[in-house]
Amino acid sequence: MAELEIRGVTVKHGGITAVKDASIYAERGEIIGLIGADGAGKSSLMHAAAGVIRFEGEIVFGGTSFDSPREAERLKPKIGLMPQGIGLVLYKNLTVSEHLSFFSKIRSLKEDAALNDYKQRLLKMAGLERFTERPAGKLSGGMMQKLSLICTLIHRPSLLILDEPTTGVDPLSRLELWKILEEISESEGTVTLMSTAYMQEAEKMDRVYLFDSGTIIASGTAEELNETVKEYVYEPVACRSDRCIAAGHYTYSLDPLEAPHKEPTLEALFFINALKRGVEIPEIEVSERESEEPIPQVVMEAKGLTKRFGDFVADDHIDMELKSGEILGLLGANGAGKTTFIKMLLGLYPIDDGELVLLGRPIRSAKDRQGLKARIGYVSQHFSLYKDMTVRENLLYFASMHGIDAKKASSRIDRYAKELGFASYMDSLPTELPLGINQRFSVAAALLHEPVVLFLDEPTSGVDAIARSQFWQMLKLLKRKWGIAILITTHYMSEAEYCDRVVLLKEGRKVADDSVENLYKKHPAAKSFEEIFLHYYEDGR
Amino acid sequence: MSPGVIRAYILKEFRELLRSRLILIVYILPTMIIILFGYGIRMEVTDARTLIIDNDNSTISRDLSARFEHSRYFDTRVTSGMGEQEALKRIKQAKVDILVIIPDSFEKRLLHGEKTEIGVFIDGAFPVRAATMQNYVKGVVYDAARSLTDKKPTNLITVNNRNLFNQAMRDEDAIVPGLIGLILLVAPAILSALLIVKEKEEGTIFNFYSSPIKKSEFIVAKLVPPLILHTVNIFILFLWATWLFEVPFRGSFLLYWAASQIYIVISLGVGLLVSIITRTQIVAIVLTIIITIIPGFLYSGMLMPISSMSGESKIEAHIYPVMYFNHIIYDTFLIGQGLDSPKNRLYLAILFFYAVFLILLGSRLMKKETA
């Protein structure tokens, strides 16, 4: 019998079934991946396995079986759960070392030299040994996740349950999280259940389970799973039927195409599954803008832009240029200064040093920004929508904020809803929407006044592959049809390849600024953009 | 229960309370309430702005005006020859509370033994205040009338009135002890609800759900910090009452302390129950305030004595624990019967029962799992 067996587990929230009849097994030392769109039931199943939610069915771990949270109490000393959300289980005011001591005490661990050594080892693995006195609230997202992970590991759990520990985390921190994980599962024989939105990670796992609307629809190693969809994956070509989707560097089709096959990645599973189930994936469209607006050649020009927070320099003399009709990707680890930079451009933070020219106008005071706001669109990391208003009400509100008259606004909103594929959600609340829809509707809100430049701060974190591909489709169309300039930050290195040019920030400094092609030329050994990113980050460490 | 786990949790709570500066609220809020309400609620009327139009200007009328002028209850201005319309306008403009019109030939008629009338107008916008002012005016006028006819037999009986427990009829004595009850019901409940709901809202509650910490350990760890912090408030509030508001304290301090301590536990129990049904801090605060302040105020005996309630309100008053505590607290401050009174003993026992019941109910209803 396997170390962990989840047998026919069903989880219900209120009256809604989140997971239905799910079965998973894992052997000692295995890392098991759970993948699937947002809301597919991964978290619910992980909560059931951690014994923190009621469920039907049975879970057996190490020969002990349980069927309710109460029964699971006996196993809790052996279980470690890291729920979804950056720094979710951390207390913002407590320091790193206070966290470790709190977690070891609530686990009633014996305070001895061995525990101390183990703590030091964990701190070192997480690269946090220099930050033991820093409050958790002042750590970057990547550091928070590493701290959460080592706090979860402090009692040496033999069943480790990690819910999207790497979402919203930069590639370098992700790599470090993985290193910790692999080391622990090897040395301690830990069984790990882990959900992830990064398919490259899923490919490294011992077995992967694919979730779709609450059921597990496929499982196996990455190779086995890729094998099942291989015949449907082609080099990018145009589609002619609705049994076919063209998405970025791939085309997926159920019917044979006149095109060479391409080696699939796990992302293909999502598309093929959607095609097989006949799920309608709305074609994204963008029509010409209604207003004629001359767009200057250079939309934004920053020279030596600097932001300091006390002694800490968040952005250190950054030069950047954004041209019209260009998608510029702003990359960097958590805490490298990306969000700060965008906030300076928007006037949300005062600029400490340097020059900024926006849409041809030098910005020296808040006064210079007057009138510019009508030409800028912005979507923040946490989509700033009103949770108690429906999608339509939100959009009407944003339109009236921009002084667009009601009739025009209403027709524009309907057009966006249709073109961007959220028409059927117009009367739902934002909290009821899948993340991917939320994200497109947030962009729609930022487009209502037809801006000439769009700033997007990590719009795709946690969004599934299909929605991400639609999102990029939308950005490309906006660029082509509107000639708009787009500045976007992301942690998905595969997305960087869709940008015309990328700027890489590291600890507040610019370390690269070039087109994707040129960067590949400079680093001929790199197999993926992620490797190029890591190359810049590992230098000088 | 493992003392190590509880100690670690409590230490964490104190660190967070200090670093998030929430501790300031723990001590500022109660003091703020007692000062705001202590000074803010005034049943007594002093310095009512009084305008006397003396159309007679005789010895007797001047004597009457002087009686108003010498009373601390009135802030008097005397004039003559002002028209009634003009004077009423002053009341409308809220420049005058009481208008007294002494007619001409007032003295002459009195000396001839004829009836005469004094016109009195009172701003009745606040009925309780108006009734008080009316009684004051009547008192002054009758007193004056009596001294005019000193030797008549009707004046042989005078009333020698003495109000027990609050001889001076001070508002502070009547209100401040009740405020202590209100504060000790509201503040600990808010804090305990916050400490639990904060973890739910931020997600750190998963540390409890997913670890072997027992429910009892968690509840103890969450309720002990507010218990300790608010115990200090028992003494701070006592000081404000006796020193700032000069309320007498005639009973046993030990009883005051013991009853207050039990009352804080009741309040913590309310907070615990609120934290079970709420998910966000703001909802928890609003709900706690609603379910503690309203009964805490209505059934405190501050506005209306419980003994004068009837029907449903009397039943409700007996359901909420507020009444029992206030009975004891007013006893300790103003009366001093203490545990000699069987009613106080009974009420203390009832409070104890409440505390145990609420905490047990909360522990029973709390679930160690997500919804």
In a domain, A468, yes or no: yes
Query: Which tokens go with B256?
Result: 């005051």
| B chain contacts of residue A89, beta-carbon cutoff 8 Å | 203-204, 206-207
Q: Give burial (CB, 10 Å; 0-12/13-18/19+) of B75.
A: middle
To the nearest whole Å, the CA of A55 is away from the closest chain B CA by: 11
Instruction: Select from A91, A19, A101, A154 the least CA-distant residue to B203.
Output: A91
In a domain, A65, yes or no: yes
Pair A185, A257 in one domain? no
Q: For A73, which residue in chain B has the nearest alpha carbon?
A: B212
| A chain contacts of residue B212, beta-carbon cutoff 8 Å | 73, 76-77, 107-108
Rounded Cα distance between A152 and A307, Å, is 35
Please report, in angstroms and rounded to a whole number, the separation of the first and last CA atoms in chain A: 45
Q: Which of A52, A102, A108 lies closest to B210 in CB terms?
A: A52
* pLDDT tens digits, A126-182: 889 889 999 998 888 888 999 999 999 999 999 999 999 998 888 888 888 899 899
Pair A241, A177 in one domain? no
Pair A178, A241 in one domain? no
Query: Whats the size of chain A, residue-wise?
Result: 541
In a domain, A52, yes or no: yes
* Inter-chain residue contact A89 with B207, CB threshold 8 Å: yes
Rounded Cα distance between B35 and A519, Å, is 69
Q: Give burial (CB, 10 Å; 0-12/13-18/19+) of B12.
A: buried
* pLDDT tens digits, B75-117: 888 888 788 888 888 888 888 889 998 888 888 888 888 888 8
CATH of the domain at A312: 3.40.50.300
Owner of token pair 């594929």: A421
Residue A437: per-residue pLDDT: 86
In contact, A95 and A166? CB cutoff 8 Å = no
Instruction: Select from A281, A274, A55, A79 the least CA-distant residue to A162.
Output: A79
Residue A541: per-residue pLDDT: 46
Total number of domains in chain A: 3
In a domain, A285, yes or no: no
- Sign, CA dihedral B83-B86-B92-B93, equals negative
In contact, A508 and A316? CB cutoff 8 Å = yes
- The ipTM (two decimal places) reads 0.85
Among B210, B217, B222, B367, pick the best mutation site for testing chain A contact (most A Cβ within 10 A): B210
Of A201, A220, A239, the last residue of a domain is A220
In a domain, A194, yes or no: yes
Q: For A50, which residue in chain B has the nearest alpha carbon?
A: B210
pLDDT, chain A, mean: 90
- Note the helical H segments in A24-107: 42-49, 69-72, 96-106
Pair A257, A312 in one domain? no
Q: Which of B5, B9, B210 lies closest to A79 in CB terms?
A: B210
Average the pLDDT over each of A74-83, A290-299, B243-252 and give the range with the smallest value: A290-299
In a domain, A512, yes or no: yes
Query: Percent helix, strand, coil in chain B (nearest 5)?
Result: 65, 5, 25
Owner of token pair 């009423």: B88
3-state secondary structure B295-328: HHHHCCCCCCCHHHCCHHHHHHHHHCCHHHHHHH
Pair A240, A181 in one domain? no
Q: What are the start and end residues of each CATH 3.40.1710.10 domain in chain B?
A: 48-155
Among B22, B206, B367, pick the best mutation site for testing chain A contact (most A Cβ within 10 A): B206
Pair A262, A116 in one domain? no
Rounded Cα distance between B101 and B121, Å, is 9
| B chain contacts of residue A50, beta-carbon cutoff 8 Å | 209-210
Pair A270, A381 in one domain? no
> Residue B13 — left, alpha, or beta (φ > 0 → left; ψ -120 to 50 → alpha)?
alpha
Among B10, B18, B23, B370, pick the best mutation site for testing chain A contact (most A Cβ within 10 A): B370
Residue A109 CB coordination number (10 Å): 18
Among A16, A104, A105, pick the best mutation site for testing chain B contact (most B Cβ within 10 A): A105
Rounded Cα distance between A121 and A465, Å, is 36
To the nearest whole Å, the CA of A292 is away from the closest chain B CA by: 46
| A chain contacts of residue B282, beta-carbon cutoff 8 Å | none
Residue A410 DSSP SS3: helix
Cα atoms in the Cβ-side hemisphere of radius 13 Å centred on A157:
30
Q: Which residues of A touch B (CB under 8 A)?
A: 13, 47, 50-54, 69, 73, 76-77, 79-81, 83, 85, 88-91, 93-94, 98, 101-103, 105-108, 135
Q: Give burial (CB, 10 Å; 0-12/13-18/19+) of A245.
A: buried
Pair A237, A208 in one domain? no
In a domain, A433, yes or no: yes
Residue A329: per-residue pLDDT: 94
Average pLDDT over residues A375-397: 87
In a domain, A374, yes or no: yes
With a CB cutoff of 8 Å and minimum separation 6, the contacts of A54 are A11, A68, A69, B369
Rounded Cα distance between A166 and A199, Å, is 11
* pLDDT tens digits, B128-175: 788 888 888 888 888 888 777 665 555 566 666 666 666 666 778 888
pLDDT, chain B, mean: 88
Q: Domain range for residue A243?
A: 229-276
- The hierarchical CATH code for the domain B48-155 is 3.40.1710.10
Interchain CB contact of B196 with A (< 8 Å): no
Using a pLDDT cut of 90, give the percent of chain A over it. 51
**Phi then psi dihedrals of residue A489, to 5 deg:** -110, 145
Torsion angle (degrees, nearest 10) of CA A272, A276, A279, A283: 50
With a CB cutoff of 8 Å and minimum separation 6, the contacts of A74 are A64, A66
pLDDT at A482 over 50: yes
Residue B167: per-residue pLDDT: 65
Pair A411, A462 in one domain? yes
| A chain contacts of residue B364, beta-carbon cutoff 8 Å | none
Owner of token pair 């059927």: A424
